[in-house]
Structure 1
Amino acid sequence: MKMAINRVTIMGNLTRDAELRKKGDAASVLTFGLAINEKKKDSETGEYVDAPVFVDCALFGARAEALAPYLTKGKKVSVDGRLRYHSWMKNEEKRHALSVLVTDIEFADSKGAGKDTVSAQGQSTEPETYDADIPF
């Protein structure tokens, strides 16, 4: 039997502030949307333009509660997870959606991009080199 793989990694900007919900004793769920810009060739002008793709995401449990205040509109994040298909009825019409169940999330804001990485103590994380000690 062949294995199926359900894994996705995406990076984008939050389209809205994350919303934390908890019902009774159930695990907390944090939902948010991501916008990912793809380059697409405009058929009329021949130029490449940004074409946004919108993805709904959900994170569960204690991490959802801890991250809720930090996941605000416009923040750039990278998420790993798996795809989930679900359907429901609304106004006697069956609806469908594909979303990402988040297993890992990293903040990816580009502030200071291209500069040396600085740790929380204010020191560079780049290793120092001591070429004078090399005997050749």
Structure 2
Amino acid sequence: MSINKVIITGNLTRDASLNALPSGTPVCEFGVAVNERRRNRQTDEWEDVPVFVDCNMFGTRAEKVAQYLVKGLKVTVEGKLRYSSWEKDGQKRSKLDVVADDIEFLTARNQDQQQPQQQYQQDKYAPQQAKYAPPQNVIKAPRNVQSMVDQSLNEAKMANAVNPSLAQPAPANDAFWPEDIPF
């Protein structure tokens, strides 16, 4: 059994370019910079070393996503590795890149512009597998919601025990008749 799965998170190194294969299939090409932490042997301190990863996405999703992939945007790319080899000027060359299956935007392109999530949701033909980060002003629910619900129920029971009239429903008003409704 073989597994070919890659997940990387980093910043886009350039704006995406949208091209087409000879068959007519759209292909979106972009690069992602991922930091690798390693210890510098000379100074004995940790430092970030960038690793540059070339990525491709194919099909109609590539057309839709390409307009949002701009330099500096932080993304998570999920996909698979692909090995390519060719010969140029008599020398053999090879390359390992990522074929993206899914892209998640982690930051907006610019604070003055709409976030990609809002723009993307306006497009009714947007691919269903693309994911975007929620807006920054979302209020997060507490981790222990069940205990808060239980506490509220206990407080209501205690209030009913102190004042039993709160626990019983109000008597029906016999003065109200369906004929009193004006329609």
Q: Distance in 2 between matches of 1:118 and 1:124?
A: 10
| Deviation by residue 1:98-119 (Cα, 9 ceiling, x = unmatched) | 00011111011289xxxxx965
Report if aligned partners of 2:10, 2:32 keep a CA contact under 8 Å in 1.
yes
Q: Aligned AA for 2:154?
A: P
RMSD (Å), alpha carbons: 2.7
Question: Could you say what secondary structure the match of 2:154 adopts?
Answer: coil
In structure 2, the partner of 1:114 is none
Q: Using the aligned pairs only, state the percent identity.
A: 45
> CA separation of 1:104/1:93 partners in 2, compared to 1, >3 Å: closer, same or farther?
same
The answer to which structure has the higher strand fraction is 1
Structure with higher Rg: it is: 2
Whether the aligned pair in 2 keeps the contact of 1:39 and 1:50 (CA below 8 Å) is yes
Residues 1:68 and 1:36: Cα distance change in structure 2 (over 3 Å): same
Q: Is the 8 A contact 1:119 1:125 kept in 2?
A: no
Q: Which runs of 5+ in 1 are unaligned?
A: 112-116
* CA deviation map 1:52-92 (0-9, x unaligned): 11111000111111111110011110011010000111111
Q: 1:43 aligns with which of 37, 41, 44?
A: 41
Q: Which runs of 5+ in 2 are unaligned?
A: 111-132, 156-183
In structure 2, the residue matched to 1:104 is 102
4+ aligned runs moved over 4 Å, structure 1: 117-120, 127-132
- Aligned match of 1:124 in 112, 130, 139? 139
CA distance in 2 between counterparts of 1:75 and 1:68 reads 12
**1:26-65 superposed matches below 5 A:** 26-65=24-63
**Larger helix proportion, structure 1 or 2?**
2
Q: Tell me, in whole angstroms, the C-alpha distance in 1 between the residues paired with 2:134 and 2:103.
A: 21
3-state DSSP class of the match of 2:86? strand
* TM-score normalized with structure 1 length: 0.82
The one-character-per-residue Cα deviations of 1:25-73 (angstroms, maximum 9, x if unpaired) are: 5210001111100111111100111111111100011111111111001
Give the match's secondary structure for 1:134: helix
